[in-house]
């Protein structure tokens, strides 16, 4: 059944687990997420970005999620708008039947320019007001995602700030987090602790100075009833990078957020963990390998089935590591 994010995150907090929130753009991703959830009886958050809506079209995305609910009626599913850039976008998502929206007011509506605190509160408060009136949950964001060492926002072509960022912008302070939650009434709070979107998060396996799990602990201590969201939380599996590069790909040395660091965050209030890149890497690796090994094959179902299998492996591993097994 379709449920609101608040219901699911409250349950997660009560039972001490975290939920991966996978981005969905197509049938294969949806199948991987749902089949894995069904296998371990885990609840599901699927989220769609503006890019997903542009790629699949709003009605296709909506029906993809409705199809998931129809095929797996025993699994609670949240349909979440990822990085809504304005109140209008969030309103449109609610009309489409989403049960949760993110108003990302940390950036202006261009999705590139860091905003003022006042702007962020204003747009987020607006979305909280109209969403709560119809039982839809709201995620807000305070702080700008970026690499604490280089000041890079990460994602070169997608969601993320343009230009260099300051250390203060990229590390959410406890004071700002508390003030923002009180000023907006969000159900879930995304914070910046050194992660960034895309495959190029860290140039070496991250240490405590560039991945600030300690800040999550401080914010959780100050806001024990607020559900914390980690964006940019793909782990960038080295084994999939190897497969991609072995079969004609070209991805430079890079590291993601180690699963054990996310698990540490979950012990301290992290309830939603956003993952997109890992599914992209797994499906690309699976396609490259299959086509290289079967050069005469041309039925898309053959190689797309391999992507489902590969993505399902990631989904299963995250449901298990984050403690979602049996929680549906
Ligand atoms: O937050 C970014 C997500 O990975 C979505 O990426 O905008 O390319 O769909 P996208
Ligand atoms: P990744 O790029 O690390 O998968 O992050 C996805 C995300 O934060 C979507 O909002
Ligand atoms: Na989100
Ligand atoms: Zn994100």
Mutate which of 276, 282, 318 for ligand 2 pocket (most atoms within 8 A of beta carbon): 276
- Residues 305-320 have a mean pLDDT of 99
CB 11 within 8 A of CB 327: yes
pTM for the structure as a whole: 0.98
Taking phi over 0 as left and psi of -120 to 50 as alpha, with beta for the rest, 45 belongs to beta
61: its two tokens: 């995305």
C-alpha 229/C-alpha 18 separation (Å) is 9
Which bound ligand lies closest to the C-alpha atom of 189? 3
Count of CB atoms situated within 10 Å of the CB of 175? 9
pLDDT in tens, 197-232: 999 999 999 999 999 999 999 999 999 999 999 999
Per-residue pLDDT at 208: 98
The one catalytic residue among 82, 104, 187, 278: 82
Ligand 1 contacts CB of residue 199 (under 6 A):
no
Helices (H), 41-116: 50-56, 58-71, 87-96
Quickly state the pLDDT bin for 162 (edges 50, 70, 90). confident
| Digit-coded pLDDT (tens) for 79-120 | 999 999 999 999 999 999 999 999 999 999 999 999 999 999
Q: Rounding to the nearest 10 degrees, give the CA dihedral for residues 132, 136, 142, 145.
A: -170
Decide: 23 in ligand 1 pocket, CB within 6 A: yes
Mean pLDDT for the stretch of residues 5-10: 98
d(CA 75, CA 68): 9
**What does the pLDDT look like over 231-282, one tens digit per residue?**
999 999 999 999 999 999 999 999 999 999 999 999 999 999 999 999 999 9
Active site residue 110: no
Say yes or no: ipTM exceeds 0.90: yes
């Amino acid at each position: 059944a379709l449920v609101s994010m608040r219901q699911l995150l409250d349950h997660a907090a009560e039972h001490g687990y975290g939920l991966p929130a996978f981005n969905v753009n197509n049938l294969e991703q949806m199948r991987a997420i749902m089949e894995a959830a069904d296998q371990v009886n885990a609840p599901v958050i699927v989220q769609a970005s503006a890019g997903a809506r542009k790629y699949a079209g709003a009605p296709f995305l909506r029906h993809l999620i409705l199809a998931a609910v129809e095929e797996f009626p025993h699994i609670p599913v949240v349909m979440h708008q990822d990085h809504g850039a304005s109140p209008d976008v969030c309103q449109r998502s609610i009309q489409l039947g989403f049960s949760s929206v993110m108003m990302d007011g940390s950036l202006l509506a261009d999705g590139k320019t860091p905003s003022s605190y006042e702007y962020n509160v204003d747009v987020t408060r607006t979305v909280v007001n109209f969403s709560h009136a119809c039982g839809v949950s709201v995620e807000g964001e305070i702080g700008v995602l970026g690499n604490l060492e280089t000041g890079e926002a990460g994602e070169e072509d997608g969601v993320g700030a343009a230009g260099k960022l300051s250390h203060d912008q990229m590390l959410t302070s406890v004071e700002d987090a508390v003030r923002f939650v009180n000023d907006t009434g969000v159900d879930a709070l995304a914070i910046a602790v050194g992660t960034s979107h895309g495959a190029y998060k860290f140039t070496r396996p991250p240490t405590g100075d560039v991945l600030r799990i300690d800040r999550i602990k401080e914010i959780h201590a100050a806001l024990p009833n607020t559900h914390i969201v980690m964006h940019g939380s793909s782990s960038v599996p080295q084994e999939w990078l190897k497969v991609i590069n072995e079969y004609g790909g070209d991805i430079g040395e890079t590291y993601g957020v180690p699963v054990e660091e996310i698990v540490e965050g979950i012990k301290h209030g992290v309830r939603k963990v956003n993952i997109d890149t890992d599914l992209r890497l797994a499906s690309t690796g699976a396609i490259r390998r299959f086509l290289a090994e079967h050069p005469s094959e041309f039925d898309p179902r053959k190689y797309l089935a391999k992507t489902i299998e590969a993505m399902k492996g990631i989904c299963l591993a995250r449901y298990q590591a984050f403690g979602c097994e049996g929680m549906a």
